[in-house]
Amino acid sequence: MVTVVEEVDHLPIYDLDPKLEEFKDHFNYRIKRYLDQKCLIEKHEGGLEEFSKGYLKFGINTVDGATIYREWAPAAQEAQLIGEFNNWNGAKHKMEKDKFGIWSIKISHVNGKPAIPHNSKVKFRFRHGGGAWVDRIPAWIRYATFDASKFGAPYDGVHWDPPACERYVFKHPRPPKPDAPRIYEAHVGMSGEEPEVSTYREFADNVLPRIRANNYNTVQLMAIMEHSYYASFGYHVTNFFAVSSRSGTPEDLKYLVDKAHSLGLRVLMDVVHSHASNNVTDGLNGYDVGQNTHESYFHTGDRGYHKLWDSRLFNYANWEVLRFLLSNLRYWMDEFMFDGFRFDGVTSMLYHHHGINKGFTGNYKEYFSLDTDVDAIVYMMLANHLMHKLLPEATIVAEDVSGMPVLCRPVDEGGVGFDFRLAMAIPDRWIDYLKNKEDRKWSMSEIVQTLTNRRYTEKCIAYAESHDQSIVGDKTIAFLLMDKEMYTGMSDLQPASPTINRGIALQKMIHFITMALGGDGYLNFMGNEFGHPEWIDFPREGNNWSYDKCRRQWSLVDTDHLRYKYMNAFDQAMNALEEEFSFLSSSKQIVSDMNEKDKVIVFERGDLVFVFNFHPNKTYKGYKVGCDLPGKYRVALDSDALVFGGHGRVGHDVDHFTSPEGMPGVPETNFNNRPNSFKVLSPPRTCVAYYRVDEDREELRRGGAVASGKIVTEYIDVEATSGETISGGWKGSEKDDCGKKGMKFVFRSSDEDCK
């Protein structure tokens, strides 16, 4: 390998965290490995950008009046291209192999038309060292289908090259990158109400408007890459460049992404580069015929097999593996206009032990040692560098449970280059509390520690519950809280039972405090915003191949007399609150009170003051709350509002004036180390956010704010469209602007003329 001569004496990450200098040798080694690899790619391939256009060279492509097919299969002794176009007889379509193990064939057009028609089935046939001939789906295939009428039917590769009149043309630009992503995680196949696999177009037309109405700014799509085993949730990928055909065609997926962009939603894709399905018939594993690791996509022996996932592990040091994976990212980004990715299984990639039976304590020696897989880290550095060069506004999220330092620092600083990591400890904490602790034994300091235990120079996406909790055998937060009473107690036509009252209250509180204190972005899995009951059970032999539990029952939240609407309304409102005040992107985060006796947590995030009362039955009148700036505070969001299924105990028209505390600039004389305070009413199991009134703007508003174009933001209100209903300080409409039942929460001025 060519060695990059420059010494990497002082990386910027050492300034951020001086403790990292102890591992200078490790960082020097991996940054040099990265630079060496990048230099080699530039020398032999013309740079990363050119290298990542592999999908235009490999697989089946049309070039200058001919069809050209290329496949990397160094273990093959002979190879043919077969398919419907030649009646599956490859005798006349034998391929040639170059010195790098790449097979190719050029087939001239017939009468001006491609010899391999669009939407026709194809396979790669080759003879390996053992003498046997095998048929495999081309590794770079862009579409793969199976006969749904036959149980366990194998997939066929399908050549996808529609004529210009059938190609989807994008109409809408990518939305700008938000300061803080509010992500709605969704699975297209199970997104419909009917017990069947839903389509990309159905999702685009029926579900995307709901996501927009709930004020999310990003949608994250699971299970897009083709996977032969539906119940794998899309994580056992068989065909990396192929759109999952269960939900439609590549053009249908493009329609979905474009529709999202038209609604102002950015779209992230779950990308699985940590492992591949062990399926030999349908997947990439079929190219492993016993050759050595340098001629394979995967490592050989135990290193190439994930014993818990029952899947194959990539050899990230191989040139063609790098081409394959980097091109895969570019393909989805360029061809489908995805705005970024959520990398699955990053912990498995970071370490040779893959995190199996490994607990991470935060000791840096756990992160930087011989256990670290530098090959995989170099690949991720190359990938992040490439993606941010191609699309500077890309959002790249890492699913890592280990907490490896500098995972989310830029590559040129010495980091791995991700923008965010998932805060995976948070849902584990809530599960532990809901399953194992009585409400009175919840520790306020432990909750705060879990939510704030992160590296503040690296951004996190917080989430209260994961999609894994929705799977059969586990329970969502709402189902843990209310269980069987969700079948009988959710009607608003009867008084709520204590279980339902507690469940709805804590559902709102847990999600809101997770959003407000847990990170720099927020994620919610499809249906959890309204407390979707039951579990997800993919069709399998054990349930007689039923889709009944593999869908989303939107009618529950659309039915006006059911209480699901309250949780959905609060989800809408807390997203609207973040949209207006941008507290997730604020660096100001101060926890001033963690009162174990009162079960109260008070903190400031951005310009807001949050008060959470987790006590089961105590109301605190005149509860003193510390704050930074003096002035007048008002309610911005109240979980106890009637429109959220609360009891309406907190006054929304009350002005809370501050009092100075102690000596200015001397924190020890202040109240909870805050220079000012104000008093509030805090009912049990409620959370309230307060904002400081801008007195200057208040004067402008009184003096003619409409003329000046300035308004004062007050309480969250409901944008009325038709069929208004009034509830306290709230105004509701039976339908939002997307035609779905429910309410649309926006911020408005208290002056009706300024609405």
What CATH number does the domain containing 631 carry? 2.60.40.1180
Q: What pLDDT does 715 receive?
A: 38
Tell me the C-alpha distance between 198 and 190, whole Å.
6
Asked if 441 and 331 sit in the same domain, the reply is: yes
How large is the average pLDDT for residues 436-460? 96
Contact 181, 461 (CB under 8 A): yes
201 membership: H or E segment, kind and range: helix 200-202
Q: What pLDDT does 745 receive?
A: 53
Q: Is the pLDDT of residue 706 over 50?
A: no
Q: What pLDDT does 470 receive?
A: 76
Q: Is the pLDDT of residue 24 over 80?
A: yes
Tell me the C-alpha distance between 645 and 567, whole Å.
8
Q: Which of 745, 741, 744 is nearest to 555 (CA)?
A: 741
Which pLDDT tens digit goes with each residue over 336-363?
999 999 999 999 999 999 999 999 999 9
Q: Is the pLDDT of residue 185 over 60?
A: yes
Q: What pLDDT does 130 receive?
A: 86
Q: What pLDDT does 717 receive?
A: 41
Asked if 147 and 219 sit in the same domain, the reply is: no
- The answer to whether position 535 is within a domain reads no
Q: Given pLDDT bands bounded at 50, 70 and 90, which one contains residue 407?
A: very high
Question: Which DSSP category does 647 fall into?
Answer: -
Q: Is the pLDDT of residue 664 over 80?
A: no
Contact 144, 155 (CB under 8 A): yes
- The answer to whether position 505 is within a domain reads no
- Report the range of poorest mean pLDDT among 335-339, 540-544, 676-680, 698-702: 698-702
Q: What pLDDT does 695 receive?
A: 78
Asked if 203 and 114 sit in the same domain, the reply is: no
- CA dihedral (626, 631, 636, 638) positive or negative: positive
Enumerate the H helices of 337-439 as residue ranges.
346-350, 374-390, 425-436
- The answer to whether position 341 is within a domain reads yes
How large is the average pLDDT for residues 451-472? 91
Distance, C-alpha 350 to centroid of its chain: 19
- The answer to whether position 74 is within a domain reads yes
Tell me the C-alpha distance between 580 and 586, whole Å.
12
**Residues near 397 by beta carbon (within 8 Å), at least 6 away in sequence:** 268, 340, 341, 342, 343, 418, 419, 420, 421, 422, 461
- The answer to whether position 70 is within a domain reads yes
Q: Which two tokens stand for residue 416?
A: 């791995």
Asked if 147 and 284 sit in the same domain, the reply is: no
Most confident of 126-135, 499-508, 715-724: 499-508
Asked if 309 and 211 sit in the same domain, the reply is: yes
Inter-CA distances, 480 with 432, 439, 506, Å? 11, 13, 11
Q: What pLDDT does 699 receive?
A: 55
Asked if 117 and 186 sit in the same domain, the reply is: no
Q: Is the pLDDT of residue 5 over 60?
A: no
Tell me the C-alpha distance between 545 and 538, whole Å.
8
Q: What pLDDT does 656 receive?
A: 97
Q: Which two tokens stand for residue 543?
A: 């349930």
- The answer to whether position 24 is within a domain reads no
Asked if 420 and 285 sit in the same domain, the reply is: yes
Contact 351, 358 (CB under 8 A): yes
Q: What pLDDT does 726 receive?
A: 26
Residue with tokens 């060496």: 36
The residue from 684, 707, 730 where one domain ends is 707
Single-letter code of the amino acid located at 708:
S
Q: Is the pLDDT of residue 738 over 80?
A: no
Asked if 600 and 691 sit in the same domain, the reply is: yes
pLDDT, the chain, mean: 90
Domain that holds residue 194: 182-424+436-463+513-527
Phi, psi at residue 625, to the nearest 5°? Answer: -125, 125
* SS3 state at 658: coil
Q: Is the pLDDT of residue 711 over 50?
A: no
Which pLDDT tens digit goes with each residue over 385-394?
999 999 999 9
- The answer to whether position 21 is within a domain reads no
Q: Which two tokens stand for residue 513?
A: 């405090």
Q: Is the pLDDT of residue 631 over 80?
A: yes
Asked if 87 and 144 sit in the same domain, the reply is: yes
Q: Given pLDDT bands bounded at 50, 70 and 90, which one contains residue 275?
A: very high
How large is the average pLDDT for residues 492-497? 96
Asked if 260 and 204 sit in the same domain, the reply is: yes
312 membership: H or E segment, kind and range: strand 311-312
Asked if 151 and 270 sit in the same domain, the reply is: no
Query: To the nearest 10°, the Cα dihedral for 320, 325, 331, 337?
Result: -160
How large is the average pLDDT for residues 674-697? 94
How large is the average pLDDT for residues 124-146? 96
Tell me the C-alpha distance between 297 and 286, whole Å.
10
Q: Given pLDDT bands bounded at 50, 70 and 90, which one contains residue 151?
A: confident
How large is the average pLDDT for residues 319-340? 98
How large is the average pLDDT for residues 204-208? 98
Which pLDDT tens digit goes with each residue over 377-387?
999 999 999 99
For the chain, give the number of residues: 755
Kindly report whether the global pTM for this prediction surpasses the value 0.85.
yes
Q: What pLDDT does 472 receive?
A: 67
User: How many domains is the chain partitioned into structurally?
Assistant: 3
Q: Is the pLDDT of residue 409 over 80?
A: yes
Active site positions, annotated = 344, 399
Q: What pLDDT does 750 receive?
A: 41
Tell me how many degrees the CA angle 348-15-367 measures, rounded to the nearest 5. 20
Q: What is the CATH number of the domain that holds 66?
A: 2.60.40.10
Which pLDDT tens digit goes with each residue over 543-587?
888 888 889 999 999 999 999 999 999 999 999 999 999 999 999
- The answer to whether position 479 is within a domain reads no
Q: Which of 722, 728, 712 is nearest to 742 (CA)?
A: 722
Which pLDDT tens digit goes with each residue over 213-259?
999 999 999 999 999 988 888 899 999 999 999 999 999 999 999 99
Asked if 375 and 447 sit in the same domain, the reply is: yes
Q: What pLDDT does 535 receive?
A: 83
